[in-house]
């Protein structure tokens, strides 16, 4: 597949008049039609998009357009938006129209981003393959028998296949980074609190974070620029200044310490993935960076603790879906209990039910300390691991996932093996840290491999610059890696 | 009541805060608005909405914590209390569990014997209120339930006492003092019927003289002080009968039925809650700055006890008067505006405790909204004190002013003018009246003193009150002793 132009490449074309927002929008819509089999979108706003694109071209002619004019965005369907439904990939919310819009979408719209549609996802963002959607599975753009990863699989597939310029996803345990890795695009999970969650339908509030998926790290930087920053409507959003991410992409790598955690390069890691990530570390070293072997000793407990904490929070976050006020309500229930039971049984898929039951169990009296309490202690230990690691390095380099995209149905019947595909991504959410996934090679089948850069809280400028550096080096002709 | 057992009672009080907006969103908290007119995505728990803590709710909690001597925790944590109910739109209440806002305070209340006693407050925390399910109204079809979510997200303080009460009357006195306190602090209307102050009670019995604790039951649905007292009395009787008969008490929740005067167990299903508390991830821990607490302390108003003592010392009022006048901050404010303008403090007290309270009750009008303002009343009391008008006239002018809202000065002047002060005319009227009732007059002259009042009444009636009763009395006595009368 040829590399598609990112927004940075489109901007000068828009500026010199050789490209218009309308033509960009039309092209994306054509690609959506061609790529209908991918099932990447739950809803497409074709008519509104063309109207808005035309209006935007007139606005641009007057020199009044925002910085994202020409950016055609896919929106993960767990972000509340005034157009269309906000379904979260669930039958429960089919046809649910949110009366308000997510803060990030308001900010993007204010900069004239165009929203092309709502992307498909694992139901309520619970999954790593986008097979758990009430609207059918999403297929990998390069191999329809494979999964695009998840839960932001629709967003990743849409960006990779050119159905939109970039997309928004949400990442609770790897839901931006893993599909970005599988589909060969860049994806950023910002520091918890960097981006307002207002309007993101919560899965696990203490882990959820909205972020961009794009064709380049620079596009991720540009999107983060717009969506980051304090929001009075989200009490957990940080009141930390937002630096200029695009301006900070170029920097000198001499003396940078790149940490390589032993626990992320052990058994189960496929050889081509290991080799591709090793290539990234070699690029850093040749640019003058220092490689620091280190340990994140509690990594092996991360998956178990993550699935306890995320399920616990999910069991409460999804309690509001009770059929009383909106969403699915079973017809003619005999009594209140039946209304709850049937509405939820009919509205939720198997994976969501599994997590709600797990979450309810780990919070139950008599089990709380041994399950939820212990998971919280593990979380503290994971945070401490990273804090110690960042005493000896500036950023950490790891694979995103032990494997490349797996086959549809390969893990769907075995939840535990599916959960284990998150082994390299969940710790980042448990520690609230930022992490960037970017394509760094391909396996023997030609499937994309992703590298992950993890940094301390609010180190997005460093991560984006490092990702941009790798991207430039990896796309340069093999003869002259230093020439890029 | 069986005196072989001593009741042990603890209270859980929900105090609805009079903040302008709700605890986690900007919606109004006004009571009695049209159903579902004061709601937004946050308090309706719509997908994607997030709570943001109302600073004023925190200030109110701080005021109550300071006024009850609680220790304010430097860090408190909101927690989710999970249960399903249609009027709880998020499926959980945002409350505080392991780390409440404040702990370990005290209040004083009177025991059954009238002594003041210190009662311990275990904890005080903030939480959001639920909405209302409406079933039993004419406009609700059978088998249907309607929801009014206006109350969702109205801030509450939950105050939990230690089990320090040993009689229903003690619990009620505590609640009355607490209501007085929250009204003084301006944080709650204290209206139990409207549900702005709600009380649940835990109660157990133990053999008199022992110190252990028996099995407790929880009483709910008591929406007045009287119901609290009746429900506790009912439960003491029920438990002591069961214990005296050698039975056991089952730990359960009982609902008070005020119409039938009985407390009956809730369905066990409704009761079997495992709330699965865990820290609320949408809100950061509340960090309390000591300097901020000091600012709040400086902003505390004068509290009921202090105000009562000041009334006794500064105005020389009896303890009873000081207690009544300071029972409500609005009444105390009224009295204070009045008392600064009049010399006779006791007269001011009598009028406020008598006429003013009566008028407020009869007209269903809060004292601060009476048209008879403290300033007007001061003028009236001064005129009365100077003998320019008499009591009956003053009361009539008081009523007139309540209706008209006009300065009583004009009415006082009018009455003064119309006063029959000419003693010759008055003496003629006295003689006329005596002559008109010869039998009574003779009895009176022969020593039946009670008839003095009879004649005085007739005379005052004749002048429609426009005469000084003291002059009338003087003239009557003069007539009785005057030698000229003998000669007739």
Q: What is the pLDDT of residues A331-380, one digit of tens each?
A: 988 888 999 999 999 999 999 999 999 999 999 988 888 999 999 999 99
Number of residues written out for chain A = 484
| Virtual torsion, Cα A354, A360, A365, A368, nearest 10 deg | 80
Inform me whether the C-beta atom of residue B445 falls under 8 Å from chain A C-beta atoms: no
Inform me whether the C-beta atom of residue A309 falls under 8 Å from chain B C-beta atoms: no
B227 shares its domain with B360: no
Residue B217 counted as domain residue = yes
Phi (first) and psi of residue B432, to 5 degrees? -60, -45
- CB contact (8 A) between residue A325 and residue B53: no
Query: Which of A100, A205, A312 lies at the smallest CB-CB distance from B282?
Result: A205
Least confident residue range of B93-102, B148-157, B320-329, B410-419: B410-419
Pairwise CA distance, residues A386 & A426, whole Å: 13
What distance in Å separates residue B187's CA from the closest CA in chain A? 24
Per the prediction, chain A carries an average pLDDT of 94
B311 shares its domain with B459: no
Task: Pick the last residue of a domain from B373, B395, B418.
Answer: B418
Task: Pick the last residue of a domain from B292, B319, B343.
Answer: B292
pLDDT at res. A483: 36
Query: Where does the pLDDT of residue B2 fall: very low under 50, low under 70, confident under 90, or very high at 90 and above?
Result: low
Q: Which residues of A touch B90 (CB under 8 A)?
A: 319-320
B403 shares its domain with B441: no
| Cβ A207 vs Cβ A192: under 8 Å | yes
Pairwise CA distance, residues B320 & A24, whole Å: 84
Inform me whether the C-beta atom of residue A201 falls under 8 Å from chain B C-beta atoms: yes
B71 shares its domain with B152: yes
Pairwise CA distance, residues A472 & B6, whole Å: 82
In which element (H, E) is residue B473 found? helix B469-481
B324 shares its domain with B216: no
- For A94, other C-beta atoms within 10 Å of its C-beta total 16
CATH number, span A7-254+401-483: 3.90.1300.10
Q: Which residues of A touch B41 (CB under 8 A)?
A: 98-100
Pairwise CA distance, residues A440 & A273, whole Å: 9
Inform me whether the C-beta atom of residue B135 falls under 8 Å from chain A C-beta atoms: no
Inform me whether the C-beta atom of residue A100 falls under 8 Å from chain B C-beta atoms: yes
Active site residue A76: yes
Inform me whether the C-beta atom of residue A390 falls under 8 Å from chain B C-beta atoms: no
Query: Which of B46, B52, B276 lies at the smallest CB-CB distance from A360?
Result: B276
- CB contact (8 A) between residue A236 and residue B282: yes
Query: Where does the pLDDT of residue B272 fall: very low under 50, low under 70, confident under 90, or very high at 90 and above?
Result: low
B243 shares its domain with B283: yes
Q: pLDDT tens digits for B29-54?
A: 988 889 999 999 999 999 999 999 99
pLDDT at res. B486: 45
The structure tokens listed for A322 are 């009770």
- CB contact (8 A) between residue A235 and residue B53: yes
Q: pLDDT tens digits for A48-76?
A: 999 999 999 999 999 899 999 999 999 99
Q: Domain segments of chain A: what residues?
A: 7-254+401-483, 257-298+376-392, 300-368
Query: Where does the pLDDT of residue A93 fall: very low under 50, low under 70, confident under 90, or very high at 90 and above?
Result: very high
Query: Which of A201, A206, A315 lies at the smallest CB-CB distance from B47?
Result: A201
Tell me the β-bridge partners of A451.
A399, A438
Q: Which of A151, A237, A310, A427 is catalytic?
A: A151
Q: Which of A98, A133, A175, A310 is catalytic?
A: A175
Query: Which of A198, A202, A363 lies at the smallest CB-CB distance from B278?
Result: A363
| Cβ A48 vs Cβ A83: under 8 Å | yes
Query: Where does the pLDDT of residue A462 fall: very low under 50, low under 70, confident under 90, or very high at 90 and above?
Result: very high
Query: Where does the pLDDT of residue B224 fall: very low under 50, low under 70, confident under 90, or very high at 90 and above?
Result: confident
What distance in Å separates residue A466's CA from the closest CA in chain B? 31
Inform me whether the C-beta atom of residue A319 falls under 8 Å from chain B C-beta atoms: yes
Which DSSP letter does residue B111 get?
-
Task: Pick the last residue of a domain from B248, B267, B292.
Answer: B292
Where residue B11 falls (left for φ over 0; alpha for ψ -120 to 50; beta otherwise) is beta
B229 shares its domain with B353: no
> What CATH number does the domain containing B436 carry?
1.10.10
Pairwise CA distance, residues B444 & B343, whole Å: 39
Query: Which of A86, A235, A318 lies at the smallest CB-CB distance from B50?
Result: A235
Query: Where does the pLDDT of residue A484 fall: very low under 50, low under 70, confident under 90, or very high at 90 and above?
Result: very low
Residue B400 counted as domain residue = yes
Which residue matches tokens 């050889």? A271
> What are the contacts of A50-56 at 24+ separation with CB within 8 A?
A50/A22, A50/A25, A50/A26, A52/A114, A53/A20, A53/A21, A53/A22, A53/A24, A53/A25, A53/A26, A53/A114, A54/A21, A54/A22, A56/A21, A56/A112, A56/A114
Residue B297 counted as domain residue = no
From B344, B401, B336, B333, select the one nearest B367 (Cα to Cα): B333
Pairwise CA distance, residues A103 & A124, whole Å: 19
Inform me whether the C-beta atom of residue B153 falls under 8 Å from chain A C-beta atoms: no
Q: Which residues of B touch A79 (CB under 8 A)?
A: 48
Domain that holds residue B434: 423-486
Residue B323 counted as domain residue = yes
Pairwise CA distance, residues B185 & B197, whole Å: 14
From B192, B11, B280, select the one nearest B119 (Cα to Cα): B11
pLDDT at res. B270: 55
Inform me whether the C-beta atom of residue B48 falls under 8 Å from chain A C-beta atoms: yes
Higher pLDDT pick, B31 / A110 = A110
Tell me the β-bridge partners of B103.
B71, B123
Residue B480 counted as domain residue = yes
- CB contact (8 A) between residue A320 and residue B89: yes
B195 shares its domain with B286: yes
Higher pLDDT pick, A27 / B461 = A27
pLDDT at res. B247: 82
Residue of B nearest to A86 (CA): B47
Whether B286 has a pLDDT exceeding 80, the answer reads: yes
Q: Tell me if residue B22 falls in helix, strand or coil.
A: coil
Number of Cβ pairs < 8 A linking chain A and chain B: 103
Query: Which of A200, A319, A363 lies at the smallest CB-CB distance from B48?
Result: A200
Pairwise CA distance, residues B318 & B316, whole Å: 7
B403 shares its domain with B449: no
Residue B200 counted as domain residue = yes
Tell me the β-bridge partners of B257.
B262
Q: What is the pLDDT averaged over residues B380-392? A: 75
The packing angle between helices A217-227 and A7-15, to 10°, is: 80
Q: pLDDT tens digits for B234-258?
A: 999 998 888 888 888 888 888 888 8
Residue of B nearest to A201 (CA): B48
| Cβ A262 vs Cβ A294: under 8 Å | yes
B391 shares its domain with B441: no
Inform me whether the C-beta atom of residue A43 falls under 8 Å from chain B C-beta atoms: no
B365 shares its domain with B428: no
**For strand A114-119 and strand A72-76, is the pairing parallel, antiparallel, or unpaired?**
parallel
Q: pLDDT tens digits for A288-338?
A: 999 999 999 999 999 999 999 999 999 999 999 999 899 999 998 888 899
Indicate the pTM of the whole model.
Answer: 0.86
For A74, counting Cβ atoms within 10 Å of its Cβ (0-12 exposed, 13-18 middle, 19+ buried), the class is: buried
B363 shares its domain with B306: yes
Cis omega (within 30 of 0) on the bond before A112? no
Pairwise CA distance, residues B316 & B443, whole Å: 45
Residue of B nearest to A78 (CA): B48
What distance in Å separates residue B49's CA from the closest CA in chain A? 6
Per the prediction, chain B carries an average pLDDT of 86
Helix spans in B265-328 (H):
268-271, 290-298, 304-315, 319-325
Which DSSP letter does residue B363 get?
T
Inform me whether the C-beta atom of residue B133 falls under 8 Å from chain A C-beta atoms: no
Determine what percent of chain A is predicted with pLDDT higher than 90.
89
Q: What is the pLDDT averaged over residues B173-180? A: 92
- CB contact (8 A) between residue A204 and residue B80: no
Active site residue A364: no
pLDDT at res. A482: 38
For A93, counting Cβ atoms within 10 Å of its Cβ (0-12 exposed, 13-18 middle, 19+ buried), the class is: buried
Residue of B nearest to A323 (CA): B86
Inform me whether the C-beta atom of residue A205 falls under 8 Å from chain B C-beta atoms: yes
Q: Which residues of B touch A320 (CB under 8 A)?
A: 45, 47, 89-91
Inform me whether the C-beta atom of residue B26 falls under 8 Å from chain A C-beta atoms: no
Residue B226 counted as domain residue = yes
- CB contact (8 A) between residue A322 and residue B44: no
Domain total of chain B: 3
Higher pLDDT pick, B232 / B448 = B232
- CB contact (8 A) between residue A319 and residue B92: yes
Query: Where does the pLDDT of residue A3 fall: very low under 50, low under 70, confident under 90, or very high at 90 and above?
Result: low
């Amino acid at each position: 597949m040829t590399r598609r132009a990112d927004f940075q490449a489109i901007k000068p074309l828009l500026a010199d008049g050789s490209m218009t927002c309308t033509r960009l929008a039309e092209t994306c819509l054509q690609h959506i039609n061609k790529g209908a089999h991918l099932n990447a979108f739950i809803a497409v706003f074709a008519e509104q998009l063309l109207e808005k694109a035309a209006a935007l071209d007139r606005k641009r002619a007057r020199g009044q357009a925002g910085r994202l004019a020409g950016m055609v965005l896919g929106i993960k369907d767990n972000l509340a938006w005034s157009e269309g439904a906000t379904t979260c990939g669930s039958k429960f919310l089919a046809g649910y129209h949110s009366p308000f819009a997510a803060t990030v979408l308001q900010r993007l719209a204010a900069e004239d981003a165009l929203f092309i549609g709502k992307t498909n996802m694992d139901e309520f963002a619970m999954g790593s393959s986008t097979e758990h959607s009430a609207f059918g599975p999403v297929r990998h753009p390069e191999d329809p028998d494979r999964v695009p990863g998840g839960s932001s699989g629709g967003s990743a597939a849409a960006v990779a296949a050119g159905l939109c310029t970039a997309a928004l996803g949400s990442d609770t345990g790897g839901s931006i980074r893993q599909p970005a890795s599988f589909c060969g695009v860049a994806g950023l999970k910002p520091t918890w609190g960097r981006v307002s969650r207002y309007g993101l339908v919560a899965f696990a509030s203490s882990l959820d974070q909205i972020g961009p998926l794009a064709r380049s790290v620079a596009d991720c930087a540009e999107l983060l620029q717009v969506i980051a920053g304090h929001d009075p409507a989200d009490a957990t959003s940080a009141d930390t200044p937002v630096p200029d991410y695009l301006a900070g992409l170029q920097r000198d790598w001499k003396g940078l310490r790149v940490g390589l955690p032993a626990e992320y390069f052990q058994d189960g890691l496929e050889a081509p993935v290991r080799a591709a990530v090793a290539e990234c570390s070699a690029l850093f070293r040749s640019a003058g960076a220092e490689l620091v072997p280190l340990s994140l000793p509690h990594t092996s407990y991360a998956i178990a603790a993550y699935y306890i904490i995320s399920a616990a929070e999910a069991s409460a976050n999804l309690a509001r879906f009770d059929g009383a006020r909106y969403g699915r309500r079973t017809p003619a229930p005999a009594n209140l209990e039946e209304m709850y039971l049937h509405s939820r049984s009919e509205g939720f898929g198997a994976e969501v039910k599994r997590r709600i039951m797990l979450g309810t169990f780990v919070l139950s009296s008599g089990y709380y300390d041994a399950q939820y309490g212990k998971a919280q202690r593990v979380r503290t230990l994971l945070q401490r691991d990273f804090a110690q690691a960042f005493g000896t390095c500036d950023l950490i380099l790891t694979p995103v996932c032990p494997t490349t995209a797996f086959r549809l149905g390969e893990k769907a019947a075995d939840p535990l093996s599916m959960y284990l595909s998150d082994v390299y991504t969940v710790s980042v959410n448990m520690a609230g840290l930022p992490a960037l996934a970017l394509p760094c090679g391909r396996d023997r089948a030609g499937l994309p491999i992703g590298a992950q850069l993890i940094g301390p809280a609010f180190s997005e400028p460093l991560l984006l610059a490092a990702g941009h550096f790798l991207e430039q080096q990896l796309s340069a002709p093999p003869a002259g890696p230093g020439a890029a | 009541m069986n005196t072989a057992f001593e009741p042990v009672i603890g209270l859980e009080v929900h105090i609805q805060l009079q903040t302008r907006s709700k605890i986690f969103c900007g919606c109004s908290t006004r009571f009695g608005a049209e159903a579902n007119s004061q709601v937004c995505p946050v308090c309706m728990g719509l997908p994607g909405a997030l709570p943001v803590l109302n600073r004023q709710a925190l200030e109110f909690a701080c005021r109550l914590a300071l006024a009850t001597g609680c220790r304010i925790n430097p860090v408190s944590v909101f927690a989710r209390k999970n249960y399903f109910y249609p009027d709880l739109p998020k499926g959980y209440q945002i409350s505080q569990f392991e780390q409440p806002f404040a702990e370990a305070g005290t209040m004083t209340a009177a025991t059954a014997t009238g002594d003041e006693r210190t009662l311990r407050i275990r904890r005080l925390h903030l939480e959001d209120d639920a909405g209302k399910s409406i079933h039993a109204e004419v406009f609700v079809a059978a088998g249907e339930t309607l929801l009014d979510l206006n109350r969702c997200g109205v801030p509450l303080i939950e105050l939990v006492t230690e089990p320090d009460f040993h009689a229903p009357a003690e619990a009620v006195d505590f609640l009355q003092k607490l209501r007085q306190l929250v009204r003084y602090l301006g944080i709650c209307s204290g209206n139990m019927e409207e549900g702005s102050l709600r009380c649940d009670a835990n109660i157990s019995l133990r053999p008199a003289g022992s110190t252990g604790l028996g099995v407790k039951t929880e009483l709910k649905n008591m929406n007045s002080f009287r119901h609290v007292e009746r429900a506790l009395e009912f439960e003491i009787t029920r438990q002591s009968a069961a214990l005296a008969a050698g039975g056991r008490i089952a730990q359960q929740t009982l609902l008070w039925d005020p119409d039938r005067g009985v407390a009956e167990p809730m369905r066990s299903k409704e009761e079997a809650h495992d709330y699965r508390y865990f820290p609320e991830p949408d809100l950061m821990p509340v960090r309390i700055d000591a300097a901020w607490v000091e600012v709040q302390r400086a902003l505390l108003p004068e509290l009921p006890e202090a105000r009562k003592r000041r009334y006794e010392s500064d105005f020389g009022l009896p303890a009873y008067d000081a207690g009544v006048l300071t029972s409500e901050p609005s009444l105390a404010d009224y009295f204070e505006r009045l008392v600064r303008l009049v010399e006779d403090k006791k007269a001011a007290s009598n009028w406020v405790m008598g006429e003013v309270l009566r008028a407020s009750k009869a007209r269903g009008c809060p004292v601060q909204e009476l048209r008879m303002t403290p300033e007007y009343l001061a003028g009236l009391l001064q005129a009365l004190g100077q003998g320019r008008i008499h009591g009956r006239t003053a009361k009539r002018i008081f009523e007139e002013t309540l209706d008209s809202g006009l300065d009583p000065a004009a009415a006082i002047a009018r009455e003064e003018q119309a006063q029959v002060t000419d003693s010759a005319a008055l003496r003629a009227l006295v003689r006329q009246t005596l002559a008109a009732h010869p039998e009574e007059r003779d009895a009176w002259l022969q020593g039946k003193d009670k008839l003095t009042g009879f004649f005085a009444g007739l005379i005052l009636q004749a002048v429609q009150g426009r005469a000084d009763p003291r002059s009338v009395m003087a003239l009557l006595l003069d007539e009785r002793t005057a030698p000229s009368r003998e000669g007739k």
